[in-house]
Amino acid sequence: MSKIVNFTIDGVSVEAQKGETILQVARKNDIYIPTMCYISKTTPCASCRMCVVEAQGLEGFVLSCNTPPTEGIEITTNSNDLEHERTNIMKLYDVNHPLECGVCDKSGECDLQNKTLEFNVGQQSFAAKDIPRKIENWGMINYDPALCILCEKCVHVCNEVIGDDAIDIKFGGYSSTIIPKNSETLDCTYCGECIAVCPVGALISSDFQYTANAWELSRVPATCVHCSGGCSLEYEVKDAGIYGDKTIYRVKNNFEYTSLCGAGRFGFDFDNKASKNEADLNKAIKAIRSAKAIRFSSMITNEEAYILEEFKEKFGMKLFNEDARLFASFMDAYSSISGKKHHSGSLDAIKLCEAAIVIGSRIATDNPALRYALTTASKHNGAKIVYAHPLEDVLMKNTASQLMKYEAGAEEGVIALLANGIVKKADLDEDEKEFFDSLDLGYLGAESNIGEEEISQMIQSFSRAKNHVLIIGSDIMAHPRARNIAKIVALIEKYSAFSVVVVPSQVNTLGVSLINSLDIDEDMVDNVVGYNAKGNFVISSLEFANLSIPSLNQQEGTFVSIDNRVLPTNVALDFEGYTLNDIASVCAIKHKNTIDCTKLLSQKSGFKALNFDELENFLSAHGDDNRGYLLDEVDCKMDGKLENIEDLAEFNGTVIYHSNPVLQFNAYTNKTSQLERDTSLRGSAQFAQVAKISDGETIEISFGSTTIQRTFKLDEDLKGTIALNPTFDIAVDSSKYRFEKSKIVRVTNE
Amino acid sequence: MKNEAFNDRNVSSDGYFKVDIAEYPTDGWAKFTRVVRRTFRAELFVGLWVVLREMLKFDIHTIQYPLEKMPIGPRYRAVHEMKRLWESDAERCIGCGLCEKICISNCIKMDTKIDEHSRKEVSEYTINLGRCIFCGYCAEVCPELAITHGGEYENCSEQREHFIDYTGMLTPLEMMANGTQKEFEGFGAITPHEDESVKKTPLSY
């Protein structure tokens, strides 16, 4: 029941939705109230007290940022008393603030500077004895306590949006500072969100510090290319040094409403360099003409995917992309029950949910955007979040309210148990009833290690919640029983309040799965052209390419994000060499520009016939998403039949789980200069015991047909006999289930 | 004052007259005779005589450039100088980038970085004097009086690159030791008695 409150601000009659504060209503109606510490995506910090307003009939001032209006109240945002109060606050903020604006990295984009000028604070009239304050270096982040105004924005985003909860305020009056929480130095996922929200230059990227001024940098609106979150960002570009080429200096985001993980923020220098060499181009054309197949990765734009599809039509070759094929197959099975082509949930739905289940993904590293959405839901709506995975994740500790630890390989059983708990009592049809009746709950519970009380605890904690979301991770795409799992997921959605979000594993897995008709990868070696993937002729934006093509920050085009939103990205850096379109035009597939394909994308898959240039890429001043467009809903035939659950697979011994460390996703993040590259196999003490290895040892890991060498690192946060194997530095077959049995041998240096 | 004189815009009367120009020759013979007449008239010797007369007087006002040079006013805007701090000999430039921004001929380029004391350091700085129009905006905008104009107006070289030498602009350390660095009095300089109007920050100690 939404209740509307009518009241007036400065004589203008306005209305507030239930739960809105005076400040929010004022901003919606374009009435200006100055703030220093307010940030829309967190709960009000209420530390600056700049947002004070007068309410008729009340003595003293009211904080507009955290006060909801009452019916008929008359609010005044401007008076001599308020002006005096605010000016005094600004005078206090300016006490002993270093006069180094000339070198400060904010270089004019400073809230403090703006407000100081706004309130005309021309001189310092208060005095305080200054104290020595040491500049802290926290790895990728530098902190200058002398510049800090203690607005607490950084602390609030770290805790409420990111979920790291890594920084805190050390209270001490004038000597208050920001400190790493419960630690000597900063120990966090280095998302850099604190840098983004800092209104002054106190928290700053150590790589960027003192290298450029804001006015020199030209902003390129783009979309992050590291995971499927599709976060909006702006590359800031300028000529390097005094003779250099255009270089990306930093990445910024609209921090008022959106967040960015560290890979997006610090991992921007993955551009490719090449020059035009006609001999190479001719070789590439020859290779494509004689190719039996093109194998490609999902790190491409929709337009490239479309051109590849045209190659298939023209030359009759096969297209291999296991990652997208498995996703498409999962979604196909899902559609056959749900009747809809696209999953129903989105990141915004997660932010607003009150109950969520995450299954089959180490989500904090697989898709940080989704983790931040979950954190927001948990902190702001008190959402109950069930994190179901064979491995505990310390990063989800602050967010997840219930850990459901199941055995690796048992996803089908777990989903069946969840479905049984959630929709058993719904109005099912015969086949579905039969499916649930045939479930051997005892067997499933025992084999998957999920107790009956865990399910009932979950059901109970969800009972009062509105807006449920079920999040399906990429473990399940490659599960042998993925299609049946998809059908059960669709069943849950059909008969309950749950919306479903399926997490695509790479930036454009979803787009590729909609555009391309993919074939099963037969692991062919000869006559295969690799497009950002392996093959006997490689066209790639990575190293070791026979023909170089531009990286994703050197291309314009669109991606489809986890929200089913088609997002445009723009060229941040120039590329001298050839693009896929150049190859295509020689092969008589004529497009003037690659982006001419944007309007050609299939409307049967939900794309709209819009030109690239018609797509916007911005958030409005009130945070409305105006980026690209949402895919149209497409109805599908509902002819799917549930299959009975097969026996669950067992994984014993030394099992490895393909999972990247924080901030690493793929070969592109691996190429960047700032992101840490931890290639070690991380496992628990128990794993070390089973594998007979110890911390720091070089080991040889064999799984499937692959053998690699890594260092073993003991991780105290892990438990059990599953170790984490990074995949960003090696190409792992994405058709395989992410848990794999492995053989581990210690390498002796003799 | 009366405006009538100004309001009369009839330029054809009142003091204006047409210059008496002879008719231009039209045929070949007339042209030939004009050339001959001009050639053998001894006009050239009039000029030579003036030079000879002045030379014999031994009281010449001509400046013997490049042996002699005119004194240049302190506000003259010639080749830039980069000044040092009197108290530490450190470079005054803080790398704020304002000169680079304001430069209307885009001839200033700089690169900055963080140094080992966590301060901003200028790692590269060039002014392309081949492009500079000596407008003086950079000196005016400089908050530290670091970049100024000097009196060095002689620029010639075979290489354009010679016009972008930073070390040539920076005050040499010997000059600092001798205390002979000159403050610029032109654009952006402190006005006399500026210090008298400075208000001090209140300090509680």
User: Structural domain tally of chain A?
Assistant: 5
Range of the domain at A356: 339-502
Nearest to B114 among A126, A210, A240 (CB): A210
Predicted pLDDT of residue A1: 45
**Residue linked to tokens 């890979």:** A263
Contacts of A240 in chain B (CB under 8 A): 111
Answer whether residue A417 is part of any domain: yes
Residue of A nearest to B97 (CA): A213
Residues of chain A with pLDDT under 50: 1
CB contact under 8 A, A124 and B100: no
Answer whether residue A107 is part of any domain: no
Predicted pLDDT of residue B166: 86
Both structure tokens of B147 = 């970049």
Interacting residues of A520 by C-beta distance below 8 A, sequence separation 6+: A320, A325
Domain identity same for A345 and A494: yes
Q: What is the pLDDT of residues A312-361, one digit of tens each?
A: 999 999 999 999 999 999 999 999 999 999 999 999 999 999 999 999 99
Predicted pLDDT of residue B10: 66
Q: Pick the closest to residue A389 from A471, A480, A469, A315 (CA basis).
A: A471
| Residue A141 burial by Cβ neighbours in a 10 Å radius (0-12, 13-18, 19+) | buried
Interacting residues of A328 by C-beta distance below 8 A, sequence separation 6+: A513, A514, A518
Nearest to A103 among B120, B202, B204 (CB): B120
Q: Pick the closest to residue A510 from A565, A430, A450 (CA basis).
A: A565
Spatial contact of A413 and A386, defined as CB atoms under 8 Å apart: no
Q: Return the residue in A95, A100, A103 with the most chain B beta carbons within 10 A, the one to mutate for interface testing.
A: A103
Domain identity same for A489 and A534: no
Mean pLDDT estimate for chain A: 92
Peptide bond before residue B66 is cis, with ω within 30 degrees of 0:
yes
Answer whether residue A510 is part of any domain: no
Contacts of B96 in chain A (CB under 8 A): 102-103, 213
- Which DSSP letter does residue A248 get? E
Domain boundary among A202, A232, A266: A266
Q: Does the predicted interface ipTM exceed a cut of 0.90?
A: no
Predicted pLDDT of residue A522: 82
Spatial contact of A251 and A262, defined as CB atoms under 8 Å apart: no
Answer whether residue A117 is part of any domain: no
Answer whether residue A642 is part of any domain: no
Predicted pLDDT of residue A668: 93
Domain identity same for A406 and A555: no
Q: What is the pLDDT along chain B (205 residues), one digit of tens a residue?
A: 567 767 766 666 667 777 888 888 999 999 999 999 888 888 888 999 998 998 888 877 788 888 988 888 888 999 999 999 999 999 999 999 999 999 999 999 999 999 988 889 999 999 988 889 999 999 999 999 999 998 888 888 888 777 778 888 899 999 999 999 988 888 778 888 888 888 777 765 5
Q: Return the residue in B91, B92, B93, B96 with the most chain A beta carbons within 10 A, the one to mutate for interface testing.
A: B96
Report which secondary-structure segment, H or E, holds A411: helix A411-423
3-state helix, strand and coil shares in percent for chain A, rounded to the nearest 5: 30, 20, 50
Report the DSSP beta bridge partners of residue B80.
B149
- Residue A666: CB atoms within 10 A of its CB come to 25
Residue of B nearest to A101 (CA): B96
Count chain A–chain B contacts defined by CB atoms under 8 A. Answer: 61
Answer whether residue A80 is part of any domain: yes
End-to-end CA distance of chain A: 74
Domain identity same for A343 and A429: yes
Q: Return the residue in B102, B197, B203 with the most chain A beta carbons within 10 A, the one to mutate for interface testing.
A: B203
CA–CA dist A667, A532 (Å, integer):
10
Domain identity same for A35 and A83: yes
Nearest to A103 among B94, B199, B203 (CB): B94
Predicted pLDDT of residue A562: 95
Q: What percent of chain B has pLDDT over 90?
A: 43
Contacts of A211 in chain B (CB under 8 A): 111-114
CB contact under 8 A, B144 and A102: yes
Predicted pLDDT of residue B43: 82
> Can you give the CATH number for the domain in which A720 is found?
2.40.40.20
Q: What is the pLDDT of residues B173-188, one digit of tens each?
A: 999 999 999 888 887 7
Nearest to B97 among A142, A213, A240 (CB): A213
Q: Pick the closest to residue A695 from A707, A703, A683 (CA basis).
A: A683
Both structure tokens of A660 = 């990247």
Spatial contact of A51 and A63, defined as CB atoms under 8 Å apart: yes
CA–CA dist A504, A507 (Å, integer):
7
Domains within chain B, CATH numbers bracketed: 80-190 (3.30.70.3270)
CB contact under 8 A, B114 and A129: no
Spatial contact of A555 and A579, defined as CB atoms under 8 Å apart: yes
Predicted pLDDT of residue A69: 93
CB contact under 8 A, B120 and A129: no
> Can you give the CATH number for the domain in which A235 is found?
3.30.70.20
DSSP state string for A422-468:
HHTTS---HHHHHHHHT--HHHHHHHHT--HHHHHHHHHHHTT--SE
